[in-house]
Every structure is written in structure tokens, then in C-alpha cells.
Amino acid sequence: MSEAYIVAAVRTAGGRRQGRLSGWHPVDLAAQVLNALVDRTGVDPSLLDDVILGCVSQAGEQSTNVARAAVLASKLPQTVPATTIDRQCGSSQQALHFAAQAVMSGTQDIVIAGGVESMSRVPMGLPHWLPKKNGYGDYISPGILVHYPNAVFSQFDGAEMLVDKYNLSKSDIDAFALASHQKAITATREGYFDNEILPVAVKTADDDSQDKPSELHRVDEGIRFDATLDSISQVKLIQEGGKISAAAASQICDGASGIMVVNERGLKALGVKPLARIHHISVLGDDPVIMLEGPIPATKRALQKTGLTLDEIDLYEVNEAFASIPMAWLQALDANPDKLNIHGGAIALGHPLGATGTKLMTTLVSALQRTQGRYGLQAVCEGGGMANVTIVERL
């Protein structure tokens, strides 16, 4: 079986809700990432076998196969096919897994995996609540209720369940949130993100002309450069009686990201040096009620399958959907916190849902290159109680 190699990885800087990327149509934003991957590798775009993009809120401007629309808006020829997938917050990580499986099998040689989400233009949950509001039903079926009677499927409840299960304190949660911003500030000021970020024009939703010259968006807009423990601790709690505030949760974010994945034939065709080899891919289902604990058993199984220990992993990226998720992961696995999200996470940098998986992998591969680490592990919790795990080896 062939190997799967990452030869290019890029992301936009995150945009805050109604912020500096809110004027971008998500199709066109994703097309910018596709173009950048072609430019970075010098590939003849006609050689691309497929484009696989993750997107969670597939409605409106992100409906009707946003991946194919992005190809049609890009410099790629119309002969390049594309498909869109939804594995909730792990959608583009799953896109990466599907791309890896394709090139490892030899059925395809050069595939782009990525994701896009404009949470400004297509609000979170729109595909669910809009049809329900207009009388078109709900995804929770009678069959589901047979197995989970009276259950509430809520990420907010799940985040607080993790707080209780792992006995996490409010002060520690707030300190974790502050550390996310502090690490992101350092990474930004030291230029650690410069190579991974694709500068795109600033376009806000109220721009009267999208053709006028504009400054470039280069810095993640969600970073609070003035954050303090005191300011974070005073943010209103998400749930009454809980311990998690909006300051300790991922930021709503607009963004796109992408990775080019190839096998040995693809490497030969491109004539480029790979950045990393995909060492392991897996996905696991878990309890859909607590919902967000999946990265823990999924990581354990990934380590068991590979024969690696967590000590042999140099860097971890565990998505900060809520602070309680990576905090519980650290505790359950007795992991080294100094290796976790070393450039900050979604609390500071944002969580553009369908784009987050390849966004995190872009940062992880870049961080491995900078620190000269060998192995990196990425785990993302997902709606419905699932988690993807990817282990990469720097080359």
C-alpha cells in the first residue's frame, strides 16, 4: 500500500463574526485556498484527482456541494471533481482522512482536502433550526428516542458534564482560556503563523464595493491581545450554575483551510519535498449525550493501533471547542500540557467548524517543522459523540 504525504498546507487567518472576512462568499474564500495550494506546489491543476471539503452548515451560500462550487470559482479546471462532507467539527479532518485513504489505495494520486465555514453568513445550526421552525421536522427521530429517551443532545451540556466528571475548577478553566490567548499572542508576534496563513483581502459585510483596494487579513482576529485573568473570569457563564463562560469556549469564526495530499506517484509528478507523512488515521463513536469526550477513547485506541506512547508524540492539537475538552483529555491521558496547542487554540484563534480540522493540521505541521519534532497528534470532538484522530510524522 502506498504512503500518504502532506506536501502543502494553508489556512486563512480567522475572522470574527461580522468581522474582516464576513464580506467573503464562502465559495470564493474556499477557492482562494485551492488556488494557494496549486501555487505553493506548482502542480498542473489538471492533475488533481479530487477536492474534498468539510462544511457543517450546508445551507444557503454553503449548500449544493460547496466544494464543487469552490472548484468552479477557482483556477482549477472544471474537470476536477469535488465533494462536501459533514462530520461536524471534524469535517475537514475527515476530508483529510478520505484523501489519505484515496492516495494510499492508489485509486487517486493527488487530492486536496480542506474545509470552509462562514459563520457570519450561514449561522451555526441553520440547517437544523430553520427547517424545524418552518414545519419541516427535526433530525431527532422516533428511533433515536427509543435508544436515548429524554436525552438532550447539547454541546453546552456536554461541556459542563466534562467539568463535573473531571472535577475541573472555574479558576483553572479561566486560566486555560487565558493561556490560549497568551500562546496565540506569542505565536503571532514571533511570526510562527506567517508561513501557514494565506493573506486575503479584508471584506466586511457592509462593504459597499468588493472591488476597491483593501488591506490584507493576516492576523487571527479573535486573539484578545489585552486579555487578563480578571477580564476572562468576569465573562458571563454560558449556563446558570455552570463553570464555562463564552471566554472559555471556541469563538465563532469565518475561515477556510486546505492541505494537498499525495502518494509516491504524486510526489514524482510534483517534484516537491513532502512536509509530513500521515502515520495514522482513525475515527471513533462515543456517548452522544456527553458528546465531547470522544477524543479520549479515540486517542487511546489510536495509540494502541500504532504502538506509540503519548510520550513519543512531540506535539498535540486537541480542539478547544470548550476548555473542558482538552483539560479532560490532559487529565485522562496524563499528557504533558507543554506539548498541547502550543500556539493557542480555538478559544483564541476561532473554530470555523468545517474548516477547523485542516486548519489545526496546518498549524500542527508548521509547528513540527519549527520545533523539529517528529510526531504530532490531532484529536477533534464532534457533534453526535465522535472523534477523529490523526498522527503525522514530520519529514
Q: Give me the tens of pLDDT residue by residue for the chain, a chain 395 residues long.
A: 899 999 999 999 999 999 999 999 999 999 999 999 999 999 999 999 999 999 999 999 999 999 999 999 999 999 999 999 999 999 999 999 999 999 999 999 999 999 999 999 999 999 999 999 999 999 999 999 999 998 899 999 999 999 999 999 999 999 999 999 999 999 999 999 999 999 999 999 887 555 555 799 999 999 999 999 999 999 999 999 999 999 999 999 999 999 999 999 999 999 999 999 999 999 999 999 999 999 999 999 999 999 999 999 999 999 999 999 999 999 999 999 999 999 999 999 999 999 999 999 999 999 999 999 999 999 999 999 999 999 999 99
Burial class, 40, CB count within 10 angstroms (exposed 0-12 / middle 13-18 / buried 19+): middle
Q: Do residues 20 and 57 touch, judged by C-beta distance below 8 A?
A: no
pLDDT at 208: 54
Q: In terms of Cα–Cα distance, which of 384, 332, 362 is closest to 139? A: 384
- Cβ neighbour number for residue 10 with a 10 Å cutoff: 26
Active site residues: 89, 351, 381
pLDDT at 212: 57
Residue 380 β-bridge partners: 388
Residues 357 and 362: their CA atoms lie apart, in Å, by 9
Q: In terms of Cα–Cα distance, which of 26, 12, 22 is closest to 207? A: 22
pLDDT at 205: 87
Give the SS3 label for residue 341: coil
